[in-house]
Amino acid sequence: MRIVVLSNSEIVRRGIGGMLRMLPGVTDITDCEEATPASALVNAESVDILIVTAEFCDDEFHGIREFPAARNSKILLLLRDHDRDVLLMQVSAICADGFMLESELTTATLGNTLTGVLRGAVPMPPSLARELLTRLRTQESKPTHRPFLLTQREMQVLALIVDGLSNKQIARRLGMSENGAKRHVASILAKLNVSNRTVATALVAREGLLDSR
């Protein structure tokens, strides 16, 4: 089993690499801190599983979309358990073959998840699966007047996206950190089920989401 680990954190790469070396059947491990070399490896070599960490699930999902040949490999997404709303929307929107939480990552859970991915299952932490199902049931049983379930803050961010502002400009305009702006943008794109800002802007125009402006 050949595995590529994509993360911009050396600690995370070393930690996952150490766990992988303890697993039977893992024959080759390559770690990358940028998407471009990881993409080259996936396209040029026979990679069984690509492990992608949360920072590559940014507002345009570069960490997933930059791998044209990734369908010949399996994608395992390692997510941070910080903002449950963003987390659940990422799981709903991103096309991956399995999901793990950093907070629940152990050698045993990693091994079980890799086995499940290779067998064609879509592994997901039970806590995350239960919460996702609970929210889906809640949404089905309770009508909402919020378009696409966007919060008031997300509607403010969406308006600035449509105006062409970058994450840094959005952060300055709304008085938040750039990482905070990035998380809001990621949540919005996930809720709208679109892959980038351009498609989001077109959807806003089509659905009239900001007509009240």
- Centre a 10 Å sphere on the Cβ of residue 8 and count the other Cβ atoms it contains: 13
DSSP string, 109-175: HHHHHHHHHHTT-----HHHHHHHHHHHHHHHHS---SGGG--HHHHHHHHHHHTT--HHHHHHHHT
pLDDT of residue 91: 65
**pLDDT value, residue 35:** 79
The Cα 149–Cα 183 span in angstroms is 16
Greater model confidence, 68 or 170: 170
Contact 107, 23 (CB under 8 A): yes
The tens digit of pLDDT for each residue in 37-91 reads: 887 887 776 788 989 887 776 543 444 444 544 557 888 888 877 656 666 666 6
d(CA 94, CA 42): 18
> Is residue 60 within 8 Å of residue 197, measured between CB atoms?
yes
Question: What is the Cα–Cα distance from 54 to 180, expressed in whole angstroms?
Answer: 14
**The pLDDT of residue 59:** 41
DSSP string of 54-84, one letter each residue: GGGS-TT-HHHHT-TTGGGSEEEEEE-SS-H
- Residue 213 above 70 pLDDT? no
Q: Which amino acid is it at 167?
A: N
What single DSSP character describes residue 102?
Answer: G
Q: Which two tokens stand for residue 58?
A: 């940014």
pLDDT over 50 (residue 95): yes
Look up residue 7 and give its amino acid.
Answer: S
Q: Which domains does the chain have, with CATH numbers?
A: 2-126 (3.40.50.2300), 147-207 (1.10.10.10)
